[in-house]
Every structure is written in structure tokens, then in C-alpha cells.
């Protein structure tokens, strides 16, 4: 590239766009499908059902401890496809760049996307770049993921939680949210995003005869919101034990000072798995064997009903022996990060 900043001309569809494609995206994402430089990609036939998911990423700052918007945009969509019971295979990337963005930053972000895509074993097969006037010299990324549905007799579903099932979360809650908030507020600490590809952990559960009733990633809206969706879809009550909810000590302190509840904070590398009680220990062992699941914990159980709340609810047994209702996130709730 013969300039150091993104200009409006990089979104023109002409020579500067082609240069950006060749020198940045083409270089990092090179693969035989993308290299054809057509307006789209041709993918082989799929004898299995397909799963498709889309997500836009608008986080600020675009680089943070533990990741950047590029890594996030790959992890988020790969994990969504994975949670639908599929093996992620292809990604498309739509970039909306702000005029003035440092090309060196874009280069790092593209490199980070390429690394995450390699880890997840997905190919970036099609892309698009637009340039807009902007205030922050930042960028936004949409990724759409395509995977092939695993060949299984039963797939995990939000509607499959059954009384007696154990609720497992794959690690500490709130890291990503606390990391981004810290960066935005200029608070120096050691909190890093949990941004991670969950393929290894999901593969391990699904390929080892665990009868996973429910599997969902825990992102925007937090664990509280996800568990309410599951309780609602399954027509059950989810009962959590407050003392088992895993939160990193520094994040817990940060939340205490800020008045935040980790139950509603966004994560980018966590899943919740709901499994039959008899398989819970084995599932925990398998999850902990994966790097992204090393802090996995059983945090509660599914019960058919509760004297205090109707079906479709989430309740928390508190550390001091009480019970409280855990609702979905509503309104702003806490400072937004995406």
C-alpha cells in the first residue's frame, strides 16, 4: 500500500479497492476459493444440512487485551454455527471501514482474523469492503458463517432441558465485558477478554457420547438472559447456586466497584451445556481438558417446577440461603460494549 490511512477511495470499487484487497485481505486470507477474486464464492455440494448464522461486530476499542474486533468477528460467528450443532466450514466478511483508519491497524486485525479462522479450521471465502466517514477511525465487521450439520440422531436445542439435568458453564463470567469497559474508561488492570474459538470443547462433548441436551454460547445479554431463553423454550425452571457461579477475582472486584452483575455481562468464549446428571462429571472433565473450558463449573440444575415461580423461569439460591428470581436483561442494564 502506498498510503498509511484508509481513504474514501478504498471504498470506490475501483483501483484503490483492488489494492486493499490484494495487499491486506488477499494476503492474510489467501485460499483457493477467495483467490478467484469473483463477486462471490463457489462452494462444493453439501450432502448434509447446512447451518448459517450472521453477526455484526461494532466493539470499541477495536484492539483490546486478549483480542481485537477481527478475532471477535471470527470467534462469534464460528461459535454460533457450532452451537447450532454444525461443523463450521466457511466465513464471509463484510468490512465497513471508517475514513482515516490506520492501514497498519487493519493489517493486524486481518492477521488476527486469519489466525482465528485457521484455529477454527474455516475458510474465508468471500468479502466486501465499504468506507464511511467516521469519528473514531475505526471499523465494523460483519461475518456470516456456514457449517454442515453434524450427523447425529439428536441435536442440542434450547427446548431440550429436562428435570434433573445439570447446568454447566465453561468458565468465568464477565471477562470480555469487564475488559472492554476498563479500556473505554481508561482503567489499567489485568482483565483480558475471553474471546475464544469453542470448537475443541464442543467437539469433545459431542464426539464422546455425552447426551448434550442444550448447548449455547453465552454472549450479549449474559448467562441470565441465555438461561431464561432455555427455561422458556424447555418449559422448565433453571435453579442456579450463587456460590458456584465462576467469576475471576479481579473481575469480581471490578464489578463490585462498578455495580455490575456478571450474570448479565457479555462473554465471547463461553458456553453453557445442559446434560443428564449421570453424565455431568464426565462432561465437566471433557470441557476442562480444553483450553477454553479449564474453569468449567456445574452451576445449577433443571427442575420441573418451583413453588415461587412459574415454568420458564430462572431462580438463584443465594449464598445466604435465600432465593431470587433471575430475569432477562432489560433496558440498558449495564454500560454497553457492543
For residue 61, cis peptide bond before it (omega within 30 degrees of 0): yes
Q: What is the distance between the alpha carbons of residues 95 and 89, in angstroms, rounded to a whole number?
A: 20
Nearest approach in angstroms of CB 73 to a second copy is: 11
Q: What is the DSSP letter of 21?
A: I
| Cα–Cα distances in angstroms (integers) from residue 219 to residues 105, 154, 293, 314, in the given order | 25, 24, 15, 18
Nearer to a second copy among residue 26 and residue 333 (C-beta)? 333
Nearer to a second copy among residue 110 and residue 125 (C-beta)? 125
Is position 61 an interface residue for a second copy (rule: CB under 8 A)? no
Nearest approach in angstroms of CB 36 to a second copy is: 10
Is position 149 an interface residue for a second copy (rule: CB under 8 A)? yes
Site size with a second copy, rule: CB under 8 A: 72
Nearer to a second copy among residue 32 and residue 39 (C-beta)? 39
Q: Is residue 114 within 8 Å of residue 29, measured between CB atoms?
A: yes
Q: What is the distance between the alpha carbons of residues 259 and 272, in angstroms, rounded to a whole number?
A: 24
3-state secondary structure of 167: strand
Is position 93 an interface residue for a second copy (rule: CB under 8 A)? yes
**Chosen residue from 2, 4, 45, 185 binding a second copy by CB under 8 A:** 45
Is position 28 an interface residue for a second copy (rule: CB under 8 A)? no
Q: What is the distance between the alpha carbons of residues 157 and 83, in angstroms, rounded to a whole number?
A: 9
Nearer to a second copy among residue 67 and residue 224 (C-beta)? 224
Nearer to a second copy among residue 26 and residue 250 (C-beta)? 26
* 298-326 core/surface letters (b: 16 or more CB in 10 A; e: else): bbbbbbeebeebeebbbbbbeeeeeeeeb
Q: What is the distance between the alpha carbons of residues 24 and 69, in angstroms, rounded to a whole number?
A: 16
Nearer to a second copy among residue 169 and residue 284 (C-beta)? 169
**CA 49 from centre of chain:** 23
C-alpha cell at 86: 454444525
Nearest approach in angstroms of CB 319 to a second copy is: 25
**Chosen residue from 23, 63, 107, 128 binding a second copy by CB under 8 A:** 128
Q: Is residue 171 within 8 Å of residue 296, measured between CB atoms?
A: yes
Nearer to a second copy among residue 177 and residue 297 (C-beta)? 177
**Chosen residue from 43, 111, 258, 309 binding a second copy by CB under 8 A:** 43
What phi and psi values does residue 37 have, to the nearest 5 degrees?
Answer: 55, 35
| Per-residue binder mask for a second copy (CB under 8 A), 258-277, x = binder | ------x-x-----------
| Per-residue binder mask for a second copy (CB under 8 A), 190-219, x = binder | --------------------------xx-x
Specify the DSSP element, H or E, that contains 238.
strand 237-241
Is position 328 an interface residue for a second copy (rule: CB under 8 A)? yes
Nearest approach in angstroms of CB 307 to a second copy is: 25
Residue numbers 287-326 binding a second copy by CB under 8 A: none
Nearest approach in angstroms of CB 249 to a second copy is: 26
Is position 110 an interface residue for a second copy (rule: CB under 8 A)? no
Q: What is the distance between the alpha carbons of residues 58 and 49, in angstroms, rounded to a whole number?
A: 30
Q: What is the distance between the alpha carbons of residues 313 and 305, in angstroms, rounded to a whole number?
A: 9
Nearest approach in angstroms of CB 285 to a second copy is: 27
Is position 38 an interface residue for a second copy (rule: CB under 8 A)? yes
Strand 271-275 vs strand 214-217: parallel, antiparallel, or unpaired?
Answer: antiparallel
Residue numbers 150-179 binding a second copy by CB under 8 A: 158
Nearest approach in angstroms of CB 282 to a second copy is: 26
Is position 185 an interface residue for a second copy (rule: CB under 8 A)? no
What phi and psi values does residue 210 have, to the nearest 5 degrees?
Answer: -80, 130
Amino acid at each position: 500500500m502506498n498510503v498509511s490511512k484508509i481513504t474514501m477511495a478504498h471504498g470506490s470499487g475501483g483501483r484503490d479497492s483492488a489494492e486493499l484487497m490484494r495487499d491486506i485481505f488477499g494476503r492474510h486470507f489467501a485460499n483457493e476459493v477467495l483467490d478467484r477474486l469473483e463477486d462471490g464464492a463457489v462452494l462444493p455440494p453439501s450432502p448434509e444440512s447446512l447451518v448459517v448464522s450472521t453477526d455484526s461486530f461494532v466493539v470499541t476499542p477495536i484492539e483490546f487485551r486478549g483480542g481485537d474486533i477481527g478475532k471477535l468477528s471470527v470467534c462469534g460467528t464460528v461459535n454460533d454455527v457450532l452451537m447450532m450443532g454444525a461443523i463450521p466450514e466457511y466465513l464471509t466478511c463484510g468490512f465497513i471501514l471508517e475514513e482515516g483508519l490506520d492501514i497498519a491497524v487493519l493489517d493486524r486485525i486481518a492477521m488476527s482474523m486469519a489466525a482465528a479462522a485457521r484455529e477454527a479450521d474455516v475458510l474465508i471465502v468471500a468479502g466486501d469492503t465499504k468506507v464511511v466517514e467516521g469519528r473514531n477511525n475505526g471499523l465494523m465487521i460483519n461475518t456470516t458463517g456456514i457449517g454442515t450439520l453434524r450427523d447425529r440422531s439428536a441435536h442440542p436445542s434450547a427446548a431440550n432441558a429436562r428435570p434433573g439435568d445439570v447446568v454447566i458453564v465453561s468458565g468465568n463470567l464477565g471477562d470480555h465485558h469487564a475488559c472492554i469497559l476498563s479500556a473505554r474508561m481508561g482503567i489499567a488492570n489485568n482483565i483480558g477478554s475471553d474471546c475464544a474459538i469453542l470448537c475443541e470443547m464442543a467437539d469433545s462433548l459431542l464426539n464422546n457420547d455425552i447426551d448434550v441436551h442444550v448447548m449455547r454460547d453465552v454472549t450479549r445479554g449474559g448467562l441470565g438472559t441465555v438461561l431464561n431463553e432455555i427455561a422458556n423454550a424447555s418449559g422448565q425452571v433453571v435453579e442456579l447456586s450463587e456460590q458456584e457461579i465462576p467469576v475471576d477475582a479481579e473481575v469480581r472486584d471490578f464489578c463490585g466497584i462498578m455495580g455490575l452483575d456478571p450474570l448479565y455481562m457479555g462473554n465471547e468464549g463461553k458456553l453453557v451445556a445442559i446434560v443428564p446428571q449421570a453424565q455431568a462429571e464426565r462432561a465437566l472433565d471433557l470441557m476442562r481438558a480444553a483450553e477454553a473450558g479449564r474453569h468449567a463449573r456445574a452451576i445449577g440444575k433443571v427442575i420441573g417446577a418451583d413453588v415461587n415461580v412459574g415454568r420458564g423461569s430462572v431462580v438463584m439460591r443465594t449464598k445466604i440461603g435465600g432465593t431470587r428470581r433471575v430475569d432477562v436483561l432489560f433496558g440498558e442494564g449495564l454500560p454497553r460494549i457492543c
